[in-house]
Amino acid sequence: MARLVRVEFGGPGRCLYCSAPNDPLQPGDVVVVETDWGVGMGEVRTLLDNVAPERLKTSVRPILRKATATDMSRRAALHQREREARNFCRERIQARNLPMKLTEVRIGLDSSKAMFYFTADGRVDFRELVKDLIQHLRTRVELRQIGVRDEAKVLGTSGACGRPICCRAFLQTFAPVSIRMAKDQNLALNPGKLSGMCGRLKCCLAFEHSLYADLKRRLPRVGSRVTTCRGEGLVHGLNILEQTVLIGLETGGQVTLTPVEIQVRPRHETTQGPAKGGTSGDRAAGGQTDPGQAKRGGGRRGKSPEAAGSEPRAPERGEVPADVAALEDE
């Protein structure tokens, strides 16, 4: 087991896990770390003892040293240089009419590299922009495209719950979030309720999904035929957290029961034989039915008992409203 520390750079928007040196460290210490944008300087936030690096599912960086007074003064000067580089880059993006949005600029302590993070809807030819930046900064320049979730993580804000958004507060990686998670939790498919500040499905939908999925497996499906102490009926709704089932009785009315108080009827038991108006001899004569009658679904009498007793088909992705489907990551 290794002794690790969590180092944050410029707030909780970006952090790295680093191997602790032999020198003792305390929360609040400023250290120098090798990062993607060169040599960076961050603050120790958390000490992690006896943690296997593979459990973090992210790379572990080495800590070079504790920050010195020279490092601190150099970092203050680089903050001003990053602001100037950000303003210059935005001017060149506008001048070259590039379809991209600059999010963040990072320059290492040794000024050997400058990293520019941006978002865009598709691929962007920024070769001429890189030449402008190299000529202006006189250092190595790298542009990296990030997603809208990463942008929200960098910028940060408060969510609908009133707390800082999860990606900025503690999330290290983005787990896939699907519309199926919202359906399993019986949430209304309302884009205003399901979307986060990044314009995608809220990450918190995945936090309790495994619990909802496990609880939902213990309940019958909506549309199932069941037998109860009050008679037979049809499942109209579920309360997953309370583990109750709303049943519409064939004799009229509704009743709410628990799963142990009902018995789900197998699908083959719901078949009551031929529909009214036909005989078994009619089917035995040729094994065929009137195509027109089949297309009409049994005439004015409505659906056949077979159709009425079948379980409802789960909505496909194409049936999800377009504005809700657009929230899901590609």
222-274+302-311: CATH topology: SH3 type barrels. (2.30.30)
Question: Which residues, in sequence order, are bridge partners of residue 322?
Answer: none
What pLDDT was estimated at residue 321?
77
For 251, the 3-state DSSP assignment is coil
What pLDDT was estimated at residue 268?
62
- Continuous segment of H or E residues that includes residue 262: strand 262-264
Domain ranges for the chain? 2-67, 73-149, 175-218+315-330, 222-274+302-311
Q: Specify the CATH number of the domain 73-149.
A: 3.30.300
Within the chain, which residues score under 50 in pLDDT? Answer: 1, 270-318
CB distance 147 to 119 below 8 Å: yes
Query: pLDDT (tens digit, 9 = 90+) per residue, 121-167?
Result: 889 999 999 999 999 999 999 999 998 888 888 888 888 888 888 88
Q: CA 237 to CA 74: how far, in whole Å?
A: 63
What pLDDT was estimated at residue 325?
80
For 168, the 3-state DSSP assignment is helix
Q: CA 13 to CA 167: how far, in whole Å?
A: 8
- According to DSSP, residue 268 is labeled G
Query: pLDDT (tens digit, 9 = 90+) per residue, 193-237?
Result: 899 888 899 999 999 899 999 999 999 998 899 999 888 999 999
CB distance 144 to 116 below 8 Å: yes
